[in-house]
Structure formats: C-alpha cells, structure tokens
C-alpha cells in the first residue's frame, strides 16, 4: 500500500468479506489499520472508515477510506448486468465467459493447513483478485465513471453513490449561473406543503388477445425532453395559472410562491403558451428556459458525439470514450423530467411543471391516436398505448403494407407537432399476444427485408427473474411453437413431456432454482414467511457473517415433505438439496404454481385451459418413482421412501416382484442390459469429473468445488447418486449368475 499508493481499492464484497473482514479482524486484534490505509492519518478512525459496530448485513452502507475510493464490485455489476444470481462464479461466467471453481471456507482452511496443498488456497484467492480487475476492465467501470464525472461535473464516487437528481442539478446550475439564476432549496416541510400531482401518463388498457395480423409499434423519440424544448417548459418561464394571470397577487408555485407584475404581462401580450393544466409559459423568443436550453445542448451534443463515433470506428479507445459520453448524455436527458416531479424527496420539485409536461404528453399521444383511427385509407386501430408509444392493428395487411403504413403515420404525426417532437417507427409484430398493461410478446420485424423475426417479450415470465429458469424456457418454447406452428396439440405434448421429466426426477435441478431478492431482516414483518428470509436465518445460525447482503438474490428450491407442512418448511438451499439424496424436487408445486400459471395467462386468450393438461396425466405418472438406495442410513424425507420400489431395476416396468417376470425369464438379456447400464453410468461420471479437472486445473481424487452456478456440478452429483445404485445392480447380476 505504501509503495504503490493506489487511488482505488476494490473487493467483490467489501462488507462481510474482503476489506470488511480485514477491518473487523484488525479491530478485534486492536490494530490501527484504518489510519495506515487513510491518506489523512491524523483524522479520527470513525471518519476514516464508516464501519458499524458489528457490520451486520442489514446495513447497506459500504466502507469508506478517507483519501481513497473503495469499490464494491458486486454492487457495480448488479447495476450494470441483469442476472438471476450475482455470485462471483455466475458473474465471471456471464461477463468474462469463463468458469471458476468455488470452495467452501472449510475446504480452503483444510488446504491451507496442509503444506502440500497450501498453494491451492493462495492460487484460489489470487484468481479472485485478478478476476475483480478483469470484471471492472470488461465493464469499463473506471473509464465510464470517470467520463460521467467529467460530463456531469461531480466527484468520481458520486457517480456511483448519488442519484439522478444530483447529476441533473449539477448540469442545470452550470447553465443557470451565467443567466443570474439562483436555485431554490426547499425544506422538507415546504415539500410536504406542496400539492400532490394531478396528472399521470396515458396508459390504455390493451385488447388482450392473440393477434395474427400485423401490429405496428410506434413511439415518440425522447417525448418528455422534446416537450420541454418545444413548449419552453421551465422554472424560469412559468407565469402561473391563466386564471390568476391578470392579478398582481403572489400565488403558490411548487414549494415557493410566484408573482408576475401586471405590467410585465401587458408587455408579453400573446407571447406565451398555455399547458393543458392551465399554466402559462413564455415562448422561447421572449426568454429561453434553463431546462430547454440544457436539454437542447445535450441532445445536439449527443448527435455530434454519435457522428464522431461513426468516423472513428477503428480507434477502439476513442470509440469507448465517445460511447461513454453519448450514454451519459442520454441518461441525463431522460431523467430531467423526474427532477421536476420528485415531490417526495426532490431537491427542487415543482409539481406544476411536472403536471404540465405529463399533460402535454397525454395530449400529444391522444392527438396521434385520434389521427390514426380517423384516417380511412389506413384502416388502422390502436389496440394499446403506453406513455409515449402506441400499438396499431392493421387487419388484413401484409408485412410490407404494415411497414409502408407505419412510416406514413410517423411522417404525418411528426408534421403536426413542433420540433423536436418526433414519432419514430420502431417495429412490426407478426404475430403477437397482448396480455395486460406492459406485458406483451411477439415476433418483431425491424426492417422490410428482415427474413427471420426476433422474439421480443416485455413483462412476461420469459424476461422476468422472479421465477425459475425452467418456467422461462418452457414458456418461451411454447410461445414460439404457437407463433410458428399454431398447433396447440403439439404444445400440449411438449408441456406434458416436460412435466413428466420433472415428476420422474430426470429434469436438471439447476433449471428449478428460484432466486429472490433479500431486503434485510428489518424490512420484513415479524413472522413473515419469505423464502429468502428463511434461508438467511439458517445461514445466520451457523455464521453471522454469512447473512446475504441487502439487495442480494438468494437461491432456493422447494422439496417434498411430510403432508400438511407449510410451504416455507419445504424451502432448501441448493447445496443442501444436492448433498442429501433423500430430498426430491416438489414436482406438484413447480408444475401447479410455477409452470402452468404463466402458460395459462397466455393460452387462456385463445380459449385453452392449460391447468386441465396436468389433470389429464395418469395417476401413475404423477407419483414420482422411487429409486432404491443402497445406503440404509439415508434419512427418509417422504412417505414413498419407506416402501420398496414398484419398478423393475432393469426395464423399469411397474411390478410387485422386485424384478419383473419378463426379465426373470431371460437372465442373459437382463445381465447384458444391467452391464450396459453400469457402463453408461460410469462413463458419464468419468466424463463429468474430467470436465471438473479441466476447470480447477488439478486432478484430485475428490473434487470439492461447490459452484452452484456451474451446470456440471449438478450433473456430477447426479452421476454420483446413480453410481450409488451400482451395488444394487451388481447384486442383481450375482443373483442371475448363481441361477445360471
């Protein structure tokens, strides 16, 4: 630290592990580590490092070292990449495209205490340190954050820790200062006295059904920023409500009051516009507002930056820099409206301006919808609208006609609105399903010459993360079959086949791991039955530092249990499920509560009841087959495990005699089938272990990797459990051999 004097310190998780553990350990040993790391040693330790007394995970605050920037890598990745689980191994695979092993602390301690294996622990942590640097480099975190800080005019760490209001205010004040404006700084009491918003964005209720005809999707480009520029909406251009505009009295305006002299109003005459909410704003020829000027400069600069990117495509370093700038400009333009309407915790909210912007957007969208539905030559109907977009149904039209009509609509609507309000052609859905508000799916075509459509979904389970991966896969496959083949019988066979695989225990466990966000113990009511909270309690019982961080996604599975147990008692950690062969996935729960409801929400729109499909399965298929265990010490968790198997271990035909009569009548064939089955089981196990050896880089007799994000782990453990049955199968061979 003294030799290199770094500006930035990083760690994947700096509260319970990494730097957090080091600081806690130093505090326990009464070592003054914080003053040694700080660049201002004479400061008090409390100000050098914001560390709570026991650093429990319920505190979302990260650590701070005076004079240095301390980055929490997993929180940065969480804001940049959309994943189901944010473990180090899963992030490394999706961002760096490489598999890395995961060892428990017990295994690492065991390695470190052995002289011959100590290098494994050291190499493991060196690999994690290198990967942290590679993650930040791949995401270009330092470069992007530095460019954002330079663009917004705020400190480096404030880009990561502060919200959008801080960024907008920084840019706005730089423009307001040369114009001799001083920003208002309202108190919480003043914000509380401000009236509530009266206008919400226009969201039409969709006509929920399956559409086989083209549906054109059009949206206004940057609608709210464009309205602010076009109509000159700003704090500095508002004249107040037109009802009180001819008086000299002061009137309520946001958190403060506004008074426009009557003499000034006489000079302005007709040089003002009136918003749908009744507020008057002067035109730009009288006074250009601060917000319109800022947004106009931002949008013009972004166009210039994107043009420079096209001219310098070969220079990767310059291209990344320019891309960071245009991205920052885009973000700041999209959140400017939110700065005016943040009436609860805003820095300078003004509900009158926020309502005027939203009301004008509603009026613009409503006017466009009226034009579309009242133009006979288009024969169009708006079936859904949301804030700045509209979905237009063209019954009987072809794909080419849909593109032509869509472009005509965009041209006509754009001509009716002032610059820079512009309606943009986005895509054509053919076919599609509109489920509810903000939930739809379809095959999208973005160009006329596009041959293969793009599967595009919004708001449904295929793109959401609150379910298990199997639900997304089954639902997406079913929707694609509906769009391409339009044969419900084929979809039914596919869904029942997947259900049968789950019932028979042949489905991949990884596809049925559910991950939900943990909000911290203090955020839940007493006695709350939440799976992530239940898992965290079990972890805390073994190690208080093992509690998930606030915002971390906690994985779990649901297993079978004794009849009458509540669902919360059936929740298990994935590693706990894999280490106990007696546990089985609760097929009834996953099918009836996870898989079928999303399918029913889609297919009920075409008159198909998917819940009835599961009821059509034979009873013998709905009761999972029990595979006999050779280890009698395994704890029995379900009632079926107290009984012998009703299936023949050779041909798996249902029988009450252990081995069916058909196999007993032909012992040579039975022995051949068993030996072939043993060969396949052993080969699969060896193949899986070879893949593990290649990943960890060393050949060990017993691979102790516990990376739940690696699909190979589930296959390895499944192969191990199958090998447990090998002794039972060999006994069957001995029985047949003795008879012959």
- Strand, coil or helix: what is 686? helix
Instruction: Indicate the average pLDDT of the chain.
Output: 84
Rounded CA Rg of the chain:
32
pLDDT in tens, 172-200: 999 999 988 888 888 888 888 888 888 99
For 674, the enclosing helix (H) or strand (E) is: helix 667-696
User: In this structure, how many other beta carbons lie within 10 angstroms of the beta carbon of residue 737?
Assistant: 10
Q: Is 317 exposed, middle or buried (0-12, 13-18, 19+ CB in 10 A)?
A: exposed
User: In this structure, how many other beta carbons lie within 10 angstroms of the beta carbon of residue 642?
Assistant: 8
Domain 167-200+217-353: CATH architecture, name and number where available = Alpha-Beta Complex (3.90)
Instruction: Write the DSSP assignment of 191-234 as a string of letters.
Output: HHHSPPP-----BPPP--EEE-S-EEEEEETTHHHHHHHHHT-S
Task: Give residue 652's pLDDT.
Answer: 67
Query: What is the average per-residue pLDDT within 532-549?
Result: 87
What is the value of pTM for the model shown? 0.84
Q: What is the separation of C-alpha 239 from the centre of its chain, rounded to a whole number of angstroms?
A: 43
Task: Give residue 549's pLDDT.
Answer: 85
**280 φ, ψ to 5°?**
-100, 135
Query: What is the average per-residue pLDDT within 320-340?
Result: 86
The distance between the two most distant Cα atoms of the chain, rounded to a whole number of Å, is: 117
Task: Give residue 700's pLDDT.
Answer: 64
User: Which CATH topology does 8-151 take?
Assistant: Nucleotidyltransferase; domain 5 (3.30.420)
User: In this structure, how many other beta carbons lie within 10 angstroms of the beta carbon of residue 554?
Assistant: 22
User: Which token pair is 303?
Assistant: 């166009």
**With bands split at pLDDT 50, 70 and 90, how would you rate the model's confidence at 368?**
very high
pLDDT in tens, 685-695: 787 777 777 77
CA distance 232 to 268: 15
Task: Give residue 702's pLDDT.
Answer: 66
* The pLDDT of residue 45 is above 50: no
- Going through 283-398 in order, the beta strands assigned E by DSSP cover 380-386, 389-394
445 strand-pairing partners: 428
Instruction: Write the DSSP assignment of 536-579 as a string of letters.
Output: HHHHHHH-GGGSPPTTPEEEEEEB--STT--GGGGEE-HHHHHH
Most confidently modeled of 280-284, 341-345, 406-410, 549-553?
Answer: 406-410
Q: What is the separation of C-alpha 182 from the centre of its chain, rounded to a whole number of angstroms?
A: 40
CA distance 460 to 439: 6
Token look-up 């470069």 returns 143
CA distance 129 to 10: 9
User: Which token pair is 720?
Assistant: 């191990």
Instruction: Write the DSSP assignment of 55-118 as a string of letters.
Output: --TT------BTTBEEEEHHHHHHHH---S---HHHHIIIII--------HHHHHHHHTSTTTH
For 516, the enclosing helix (H) or strand (E) is: strand 514-517
Task: Give residue 363's pLDDT.
Answer: 94
User: Which token pair is 272?
Assistant: 């003002």
CA distance 723 to 292: 71
* The pLDDT of residue 595 is above 70: yes
**402 φ, ψ to 5°?**
-65, -40
Q: What is the separation of C-alpha 594 from the centre of its chain, rounded to a whole number of angstroms?
A: 18
Of the two residues 629 and 180, the one the predictor is more confident about is: 180
* The pLDDT of residue 476 is above 90: yes
pLDDT in tens, 141-175: 898 899 889 888 999 988 888 888 888 889 999 99
Task: Give residue 54's pLDDT.
Answer: 41
* The pLDDT of residue 720 is above 60: yes
**534 φ, ψ to 5°?**
-65, -40
Is the previous residue joined to 171 through a cis bond, with omega within 30 degrees of 0?
no
Token look-up 């969201």 returns 203
* Every domain of the chain and the residues it spans: 8-151, 167-200+217-353, 639-739
440 strand-pairing partners: 434, 458
CA distance 400 to 428: 10
CA distance 740 to 738: 5
Query: Which is nearest to 725 in space by CA: 575, 625, 609, 598?
Result: 625
User: Among 247-256, 306-315, 471-480, which stretch is predicted with the lowest mean pLDDT?
Assistant: 247-256
**24 φ, ψ to 5°?**
-65, -40
- Strand, coil or helix: what is 423? strand
- Strand, coil or helix: what is 335? coil
Query: What is the average per-residue pLDDT within 546-551?
Result: 86
Q: Specify whether the CB–CB gap between 20 and 545 falls below 8 A.
A: no
Tell me 594's DSSP state.
I
CA distance 157 to 174: 20
Of the two residues 703 and 400, the one the predictor is more confident about is: 400
Is the previous residue joined to 431 through a cis bond, with omega within 30 degrees of 0?
yes
With b meaning 16 or more CB within 10 Å and e meaning fewer, what string describes 329-343?
bbbbbebbbbbbbbb
């Amino acid at each position: 630290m003294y030799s290199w004097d770094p500006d930035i310190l990083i760690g994947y998780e700096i509260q319970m592990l990494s730097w957090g553990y080091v600081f806690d350990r130093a505090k326990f040993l009464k070592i003054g580590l914080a003053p040694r790391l700080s660049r201002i040693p004479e400061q008090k330790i409390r100000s050098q490092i914001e560390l709570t007394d026991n650093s429990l995970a319920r505190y979302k605050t990260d650590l701070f070292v005076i004079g240095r920037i301390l980055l929490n890598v997993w929180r940065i990745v969480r804001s940049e990449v959309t994943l189901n689980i944010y473990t180090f191994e899963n992030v490394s695979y999706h961002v760096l495209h490489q598999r890395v092993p995961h060892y428990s602390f017990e295994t690492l301690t065991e390695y470190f205490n052995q002289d011959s294996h100590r290098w494994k622990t050291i190499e493991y942590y060196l690999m994690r340190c290198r990967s942290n640097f590679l993650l930040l480099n791949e995401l270009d975190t330092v470069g992007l954050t530095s460019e954002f800080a330079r663009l917004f005019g705020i400190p480096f760490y404030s880009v990561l820790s502060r919200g959008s209001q801080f960024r907008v205010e920084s840019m706005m004040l730089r423009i307001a200062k040369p114009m001799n404006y001083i920003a208002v700084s309202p108190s919480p009491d003043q914000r509380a006295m401000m009236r509530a918003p009266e206008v919400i964005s226009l969201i039409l209720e969709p006509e929920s059904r399956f559409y086989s005809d083209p549906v054109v999707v059009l949206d206004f480009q940057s609608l709210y920023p464009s309205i602010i520029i076009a109509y000159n909406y700003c704090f500095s251009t508002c004249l107040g409500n037109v009802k009180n505009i001819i008086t000299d009295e002061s009137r309520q305006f946001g958190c403060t009051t506004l008074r426009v002299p009557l003499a000034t109003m006489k000079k302005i005459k007709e040089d003002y516009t009136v918003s749908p909410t009744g507020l008057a704003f002067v035109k730009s020829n009288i006074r250009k507002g601060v917000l319109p000027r800022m947004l106009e400069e931002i949008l013009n600069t972004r166009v210039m930056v994107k043009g420079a990117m096209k001219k310098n495509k070969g220079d990767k370093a310059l291209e990344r820099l320019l891309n960071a700038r245009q991205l920052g400009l885009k973000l700041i333009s999209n959140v400017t409206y939110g700065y005016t309407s943040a009436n609860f915790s805003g820095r300078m909210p003004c509900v009158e301006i926020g309502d005027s912007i939203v009301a004008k957007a509603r009026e613009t969208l409503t006017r466009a919808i009226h034009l579309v539905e009242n133009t006979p030559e288009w024969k169009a109907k708006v079936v859904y609208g949301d804030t700045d977009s509209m979905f237009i149904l063209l019954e009987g039209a072809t794909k080419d006609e849909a593109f032509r009509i869509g472009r005509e609509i965009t041209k006509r609507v754009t001509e009716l609105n002032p610059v820079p309000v512009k309606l943009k052609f986005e895509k054509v859905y053919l076919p599609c399903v509109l489920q509810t508000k903000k939930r739809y799916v379809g095959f999208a075509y973005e160009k006329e010459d596009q041959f293969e459509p793009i599967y595009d979904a919004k708001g449904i389970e295929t793109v959401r993360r609150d379910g298990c991966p199997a639900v997304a896969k089954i639902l997406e496959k079913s929707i694609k079959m509906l769009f391409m083949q339009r044969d419900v019988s084929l979809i039914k066979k596919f869904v029942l086949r997947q259900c049968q695989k789950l019932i028979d225990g042949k489905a991949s466990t990884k596809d049925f791991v559910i991950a939900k966000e943990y909000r911290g113990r203090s955020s839940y009511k007493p006695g709350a039955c939440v799976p992530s909270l239940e898992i965290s309690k079990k972890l805390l019982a073994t190690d208080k530092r093992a509690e998930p961080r606030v915002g971390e996604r906690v994985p779990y599975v649901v297993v079978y249990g004794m009849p009458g147990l509540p669902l919360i008692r059936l929740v298990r950690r994935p590693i706990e499920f894999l280490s106990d062969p007696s546990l089985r996935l609760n097929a009834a729960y996953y099918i009836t509560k996870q898989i079928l409801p999303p399918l029913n929400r889609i297919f009920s729109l075409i008159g198909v009841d998917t819940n009835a499909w599961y009821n059509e399965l034979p009873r013998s298929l709905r009761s999972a087959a029990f595979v006999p265990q050779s280890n009698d010490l395994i704890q029995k968790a379900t009632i079926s495990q107290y009984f012998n198997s009703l299936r023949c271990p050779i041909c798996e035909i249902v029988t009450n005699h252990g081995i069916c009569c058909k196999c007993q009548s032909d012992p040579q064939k039975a022995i051949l089938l068993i030996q072939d089955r043993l060969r396949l089981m052993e080969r699969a196990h060896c193949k899986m272990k070879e893949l593990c050896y290649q990943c960890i880089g060393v050949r060990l007799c017993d691979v102790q990797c516990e990376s739940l994000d690696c699909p190979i782990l589930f296959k390895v453990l499944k192969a191990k459990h199958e090998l447990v049955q090998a002794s039972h199968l060999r006994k069957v061979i001995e029985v047949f051999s003795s008879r012959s």
